[in-house]
Each structure stands twice: as C-alpha cells, then as structure tokens.
Structure 1
Amino acid sequence: MEHVIIDFEKYRTPGAKVFIGRDRGATVRTESKVDELASQHERITIRIPKDIRSINPSFLEEFFYHLIPLLGKDKFLKKFNFINADRYKIEDDLNEAIDRILRKENALA
C-alpha cells in the first residue's frame, strides 16, 4: 500500500492539549504500530488534532526511535507528513527530536 494515516486523536488522553514524555511516546508507538506501518507503506501522514498546543521532542524522540536511524533524516522527512489546522507547528520540535536521535546513534558508533 502506498499511504496510511495515523490519527493522534486516537492516542491522546481525553482533554489533553499536549503529547509529552518518552513513556507516552513509546506507548503510542506500540499502539499505533508505526514501525510496522512504515515498513508496509511508502507514505505516512500523522494527523495532529487541531487543538493540540505542543508535541514534546521527548515524545517524538521515543515515537520515532527506531525509524529515524533506519531511514535517516531525509528519507524520514519524505516518508512522513504531518497535518493539522495550522495552530501548532511541529517542525522545531520534530527537528530537535531527529537531531537528538541521530546524535545518540553517532555517539554509539
């Protein structure tokens, strides 16, 4: 299959305005099956609920923990698309998470 959507609405705590923390990122990674979906689909869209104010880099770091080292930054950014109602801009938090993951990978090499 070419494309799949992961809707973060399904994984947020009722009423929450943020996704935060490594533990929550790991839980959502497991529940959404993002690792499996990434191996089965060319493109993945992450739908961010319109009233979300922030997605913490630590959450993203754990959510994408396996995928960023596997794909590298450029392929990751081509494979994953993020959509919302333009209230929250994920780019800064996402880039910080990507950089953290890649720094850890280089430190271990």
Structure 2
Amino acid sequence: MKEDVLIDLADYRTAGALVYTGRDRGEEVRKKSRVDELAESADHVIVRIPEDTFSINPSFLEEFFRNIVKKMGASAFWQKFSFDNKGEYQVKDNLQLAIERILRKSSALSR
C-alpha cells in the first residue's frame, strides 16, 4: 500500500539560508531528496517549507520538479503534491510560474 511522504526542505538547505535559488541547487535537492522516486511510490507528497523561508525562486522549483511535471502534467502534480508552510512566504505563484516554464519547454522540445 502506498503512503504519504514528507520532504522537509530544511534538510536540504545551507545553514542559515532563507532563499532557495538556482537550477543547480534545485537539481541537487531533487537528487538528494529522491523526489522523483517518491512521486512514483507515494500516494501523496508533502513538501514542508521552513517557517523562516524568504523565497523559493522559480529556477530552483523548475529543476526540483522538472521530471515530475513533464511526466504527470500540472493537474496531476497539484493532486499529488501539497505544501506545508507555517511562515509568511507562499510558494504558489513561483511554483505556478515554474510549472508553466517546464511545460512550455517540453512543448517546444517535442515539436
């Protein structure tokens, strides 16, 4: 039976960092967290955002979720993933932008 899993971004940040940025960091966290594998094996994936996070840039999110969004599409992604954030920063706008970029690049490459 599949289950819910948690990815806590605090486990993957540089000590004291309040911003998640850059494709290279997104790729690193994707690999270390095994998010691609977890998306396959779990019913639901919860991504916990540290309370003191100032920003998560679209470039980080693009690389972090690239494989999943390409495979599942936006609708299935939103059904599979949820975000736990008790702080002021809200990831939804930057995540939506990242998803749009991923899907736009996938469409352009598939022509």
Q: Into which bin does the TM-score normalised by the smaller protein fall?
A: over 0.9
State the 1:86 CA deviation: 3.9
Contact 2:23 2:60 in 1 (8 A): yes
- Cα deviations across residues 13-59 of structure 1 (Å, max 9, x unaligned)? 00000000000000000000000111100100000000001000000
Amino acid at match of 2:40: S
Distance in 1, matches of 2:37 and 2:16, equals 28
What RMSD over aligned residues (CA atoms) do the two structures have, in Å?
0.6
Which residue does 1:67 correspond to in 2?
68
Normalising by structure 1, report the TM-score.
0.98
Identity %: 51
Structure 2 match to 1:106: 107
Q: Gaps (5+ residues) in structure 2?
A: none
Tell me the distance in 2 between the aligned counterparts of 1:91 and 1:64: 13
Matched residue SS, 1:64: helix
**TM-fit CA distance, 1:2:** 1.9
Displaced runs of 4+ in structure 1, greater than 3 A? Answer: none
Which whole-Å CA distance do the structure 2 matches of 1:37 and 1:7 have between them?
13
